């Protein structure tokens, strides 16, 4: 096992009817800015529940945070928050709203030239406005970590940042808020969470059997509960199990002491930035090709994954690895997530563009062994055409 | 899944050579009291490593915290800490030193009549002196939770308390510090951690498959790594896997949204209080009888535990349950932990004394269904004679 540091101070309040807990988690005298996306929280009554809980607080609203939240939009929120002397943020939504709120929280007190430096130049965040979360979409895990991914529309760049100051103070996870999610968002969520686990698990063994088994526990639970959620989004237990699995997939617990990959995310982000393809779908496109391309260096974990998660035990190692990758593809496709670039009308031209962008930015040494170069990215994407 | 709240802000710093991290985790101007037990940390050089890391800090030492830490001893530490205006504590040791330090931390600023009230009357802790941990014995999980168990010698009482203020600020887990532990403490640690998991897992199903699988992940890892550690205490990976398993067993992760039992602990504490039997050994005595006695209400989880952890699949349900309990007993005995009261020269007289004490204190409604009464305790202990 590798040495590690683990720290995650997010308070999770989980279960039906818990949105009312907002009232006691936000200081009574706080000036609150509630951030959200489109109007879905008004349709499903989450908005009303949150507003009820916030009665007595000074509340300013900022709506319109997009999927793949845009820097340009978030800077408007920062301007409003500064003008209104906001001292607590409440993100109500999914990963995009939460990620966006993390940047707003860090940007409000930011002293440097422009907050984009936090993303582009990795300028360290030294303080942030405290914020809480009411999660309405299980997928990204952002509700229980300090990371954030932001898109700049102007330059079509999608970058990430994280800091010890951008953990939510609390996150409320009420599975009932997810009953009205469209199937597309649910299947995206399952694939997103599943890929988060694989990015931290499908690398190489370092004799960390507990981390391996915990990762496999999440994968098996997603494999079993994901289809149930899609078949019946008002199955409380299935939704609760999916929701908790998505949180556990990226709260740091399974990452301790093991190598991590993240190349699939790095490549996938480009597809979203250039074509607006849903984040989870970009992962479903890139991952299978990456696994096939890197099957030699991921051999032991691919075999273990196949056996423990998909029950693949027959055939030669080559055959088992291919059966395992194909089982993963079949799972994604069974959730109505297409896994080829052509399914999204993306062709060779986009691959050339991504290669050009990676070369320009000096992106190299991706993956758990830092051995994926730009030319490998080109081959991986070509396998996904 | 049941509703739950999860909060665990302990920073874990894990791996060989990490004791030096103490230096940057404790504020430079802090007046530190280092708490420890007997002299083992001087023999294995942990004392020297900690002192090196603390160079430049004002450090007062308080040694002599016993196994099953005594209230009387801890109050001497409180007196010293107050006199020396200590504002940071550093516990260097195992669960007893950490538990004791939690009480010291809460008692220093305690305003009520006497700090024992925190244990006996459950007087809430409202603040505590911050403290860190250097763990030298994997077992209790105290390094990553806010709970503590304290014994009052005068009355032979063993009570627990916990509060949001008694989480360690950080805990350093260096598996190499455990290389010199005697076999008795290692086997106690494995059994203690294993039983912690069972107390949170062997109850009744609430459709929480991820929590179940994570609990089973720890059990299987302890089953595999425990014997390796005993066979070769300088096997770094085995010790690291055991150490991390023991922490994960009681940091709250596997407890979320599921019922918990803890009757074995409640009964076991009495055996320690009256006869000084090692904590883990009291669990090994009580648990098998409790599982047999409650096999009807624990039926589904016993069958699942047997199949997934011990591979018990043959025979009738009755036979599988008995085979499962026996596999657990065999595991404990294989670690040189005896599982009967007679192995510790304890007889019927002690059972009568425990019954009398439970009746006197009004102890009732133990276990996940709150259906274990004093008469049941008597029968469970009788089965363990």
Taking CA atoms, what residue in B is nearest to A15?
A: B3
CA A1 from chain center: how many Å?
Answer: 25
CB contact under 8 A, A209 and B241: yes
Sign of the alpha-carbon dihedral angle for B267, B351, B276, B242 = negative
Q: What is the mean pLDDT of each run of 10 residues along chain B (385 residues)?
A: 98 98 95 94 94 96 95 98 97 97 98 93 96 97 97 89 97 97 97 98 98 98 98 98 98 98 96 94 98 98 98 98 98 98 97 96 95 98 98
Q: In what helix (H) or strand (E) does residue A31 lie, and over which residues does it extend?
A: strand A31-35
CB contact under 8 A, A9 and B9: yes
Taking CA atoms, what residue in B is nearest to A224?
A: B209
Predicted local distance difference test score (pLDDT) of residue A156 = 82
Predicted local distance difference test score (pLDDT) of residue B263 = 98
Average pLDDT, chain A: 97
Taking CA atoms, what residue in B is nearest to A19?
A: B3
User: Which residue, A273, A64, A280, is CA-closest to A153?
Assistant: A273
CB contact under 8 A, B244 and A257: yes
ipTM for the whole predicted complex goes beyond 0.90:
yes
Contacts of A149 by beta carbon, 8 Å cutoff, 6+ apart = A68, A99, A158, A159, A160, A269
Taking CA atoms, what residue in A is nearest to B174?
A: A3
Contacts of A111 by beta carbon, 8 Å cutoff, 6+ apart = none
Contacts of B46 by beta carbon, 8 Å cutoff, 6+ apart = B19, B92, B134, B136, B177
Taking CA atoms, what residue in B is nearest to A215?
A: B214
Q: Contact at 8 Å (CB) between B19 and B174?
A: yes
Task: List chain A residues with CB under 8 Å of B207.
Answer: 237, 241
CB contact under 8 A, B210 and A244: yes
Q: Does B169 touch chain A (CB under 8 A)?
A: no
Neighbours of B58 (CB within 10 A): 15
Distances (CA, A) of A79 to A93, A128, A152, A289: 21, 15, 17, 43
CB contact under 8 A, B3 and A9: no
Helix (H, G, I), strand (E, B) or coil at A313: coil
CA A170 from chain center: how many Å?
Answer: 18
CA B6 from chain center: how many Å?
Answer: 19
Instruction: Give chain B's domains with CATH numbers.
Output: 11-177 (3.40.50.1970), 183-383 (1.20.1090.10)
- Give me the mean pLDDT over the A124-151 stretch: 97
A4, A11, A220: residue with CB nearest B7: A11
Give the mutation candidate from A217, A235, A254, A257 for the B interface (greatest B CB count, under 10 A).
A217
Predicted local distance difference test score (pLDDT) of residue B156 = 82
- Give me the mean pLDDT over the A232-248 stretch: 98
3-state secondary structure chain B: CCCEEECCCCEEEECCCHHHHHHHHCCCCCEEEEECCCCHHHHCCHHHHHHHHCCCCEEEEECCCCCCCEHHHHHHHHHHHHHCCCCEEEEEECHHHHHHHHHHHHHCCCCCCCCHHHHHCCCCCCCCCCEEEEECCCCCCHHHCCEEEEEECCCCEEEEEECCCCCCCEEEECHHHHCCCCHHHHHHHHHHHHHHHHHHHCCCCCCCHHHHHHHHHHHHHHHHHHHHHHHCCCCHHHHHHHHHHHHHCCCCHHHCCCCCCCHHHHHHHHHHHHHCCCHHHHHHHHHHHHHHHCCCCCHHHHHHHHHHHHCCCCCCHHHHHHHHHHHHHHHHHHCCCCCCHHHHCCCHHHHHHHHHHHHHHCCCCECCCCCECHHHHHHHHHHCC
Contacts of A121 by beta carbon, 8 Å cutoff, 6+ apart = none
Q: Does A1 touch chain B (CB under 8 A)?
A: yes
3-state secondary structure A232-252: CCCCHHHHHHHHHHHHHCCCC
pLDDT tens per residue, range A69-97: 999 999 999 999 999 999 999 999 999 99
Q: Would you say residue A341 has pLDDT above 90?
A: yes
Q: Contact at 8 Å (CB) between B146 and B164?
A: yes
pLDDT tens per residue, range B118-145: 999 999 999 999 999 999 999 999 999 9
Predicted local distance difference test score (pLDDT) of residue B60 = 97
Q: Does B6 touch chain A (CB under 8 A)?
A: yes
List the 276-315 stretch of A: residues with Cβ below 8 A of B: none
User: Which residue, A296, A292, A294, is CA-closest to A322?
Assistant: A292
Q: CA B51, CA B40: separation in Å to the nearest integer? A: 15
Predicted local distance difference test score (pLDDT) of residue A157 = 86
CB contact under 8 A, B11 and A12: no
- Per the listing, tokens 């009964």 go with B267
Q: Does A218 touch chain B (CB under 8 A)?
A: yes
Q: Does A169 touch chain B (CB under 8 A)?
A: no
Predicted local distance difference test score (pLDDT) of residue B112 = 87
Taking CA atoms, what residue in B is nearest to A6?
A: B12
Predicted local distance difference test score (pLDDT) of residue B157 = 86
Q: Does A68 touch chain B (CB under 8 A)?
A: no
Predicted local distance difference test score (pLDDT) of residue B39 = 82
Helix (H, G, I), strand (E, B) or coil at A329: helix
CB contact under 8 A, B11 and A1: no
Predicted local distance difference test score (pLDDT) of residue A151 = 92
Length of chain B measured in residues: 385
Alpha helices in chain A (DSSP H): 22-25, 40-43, 46-53, 71-83, 95-107, 116-120, 183-201, 209-231, 236-248, 263-275, 279-293, 299-310, 317-334, 348-361, 374-383
């Amino acid at each position: 096992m590798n040495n590690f540091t683990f720290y995650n101070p997010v308070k999770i309040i989980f279960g039906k009817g818990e949105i009312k807990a907002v009232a006691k988690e936000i200081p009574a005298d706080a000036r609150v800015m509630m951030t959200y996306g489109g109007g879905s929280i008004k349709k499903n009554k989450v908005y009303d529940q949150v507003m009820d809980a916030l009665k007595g607080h000074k509340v300013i609203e900022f709506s319109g945070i997009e999927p793949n939240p845009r820097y340009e939009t978030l800077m408007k929120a920062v301007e409003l928050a500064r003008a209104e002397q906001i001292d607590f943020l409440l993100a109500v939504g999914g990963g995009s709203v939460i990620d966006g709120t993390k940047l707003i929280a860090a940007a409000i007190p930011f002293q440097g030239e422009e907050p984009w430096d936090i993303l582009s130049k990795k300028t360290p965040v030294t303080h942030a406005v405290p914020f809480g979360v009411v999660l309405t979409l299980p997928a990204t895990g952002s509700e229980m970590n300090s990371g954030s991914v932001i898109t700049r529309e102007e330059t079509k760049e999608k970058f990430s940042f994280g800091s010890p100051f951008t953990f939510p103070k609390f996150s409320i996870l009420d599975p009932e808020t997810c009953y009205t999610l469209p199937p597309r968002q649910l299947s995206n969520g399952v694939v997103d969470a599943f890929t988060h686990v694989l990015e931290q698990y499908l690398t190489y063994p370092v004799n960390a059997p507990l981390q391996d088994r915990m990762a496999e526990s999440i994968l098996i639970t997603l494999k079993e509960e994901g289809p149930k959620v899609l078949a019946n989004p008002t199955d409380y237990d299935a939704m609760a199990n999916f929701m908790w699995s998505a949180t556990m997939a990226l709260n740091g617990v399974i990452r301790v002491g093991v190598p991590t990959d993240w190349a699939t995310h790095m490549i996938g982000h480009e597809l979203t930035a250039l074509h607006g393809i849903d984040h989870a779908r970009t992962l479903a496109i890139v991952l299978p090709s990456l696994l096939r391309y890197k099957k030699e260096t991921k051999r032991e974990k691919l075999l273990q994954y196949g056996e423990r998660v998909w029950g693949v035990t027959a055939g030669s190692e080559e055959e088992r690895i291919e059966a395992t990758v194909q089982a993963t593809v079949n799972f994604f496709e069974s959730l109505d997530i297409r896994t080829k670039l052509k399914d999204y009308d993306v062709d060779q031209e986009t691959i050339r563009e991504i290669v050009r962008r990676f070369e320009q930015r000096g992106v190299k040494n991706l993956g758990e062994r830092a051995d994926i170069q730009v030319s490998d990215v080109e081959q991986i994407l070509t396998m996904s055409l």
